Structure 1
């Protein structure tokens, strides 16, 4: 009985973590997450540092157009591949 409760609690905790779009979960186990940049910010660069997602932005100019970027992970066997969508907006 204790074993079933422990398994159920573990499954619930994993489901909650996966549904939150956590950066570490997206990177390590695949999945999708979306980052909405502050208005009038332009994405310059994006990378992982350990389990943290780092992105470099700059202020948009009048000529800049808001875009949506896909940051995709490709693994050797195609398992646990994650996708981060970064959305720019302009006011």
Structure 2
């Protein structure tokens, strides 16, 4: 009986994740989201507002280098932890 309940809950979670969008699923159910910024954009700050991921960028200067930022969610019991990766690039 427990195996059936776990299977049903897993199926529901996958369905909800598919319907709600990648960012929301990452925040609510764990997983990974990767965002590639437009070329020559530098990440300044990132935050969640409800289920939306907001990030602040600025134009890169000649001195800036392209970086990859990884933001990891840590939960109390290690369940539903998510990762958001932001990738910068230069032309």
TM-score (norm: length of structure 1): 0.80
When the two structures are aligned, how many residues end up with a matched partner?
A: 83
Q: RMSD of aligned C-alpha atoms? A: 2.7
Which ranges of structure 1 fall in alignment gaps of 5 or more residues? 1-7
TM-score where L is the length of structure 2? 0.80
Deviation at 1:71, TM superposition (A): 1.0
Unpaired segments of 5 or more residues in structure 2?
1-7
Pairing 1:3-82 to 2, within 5 Å after superposition: 11=11, 14=15, 17=18, 22-82=22-82
Q: Which runs of 4+ in 1 moved over 2 A?
A: none
SS of the residue corresponding to residue 14 of structure 1 reads: helix
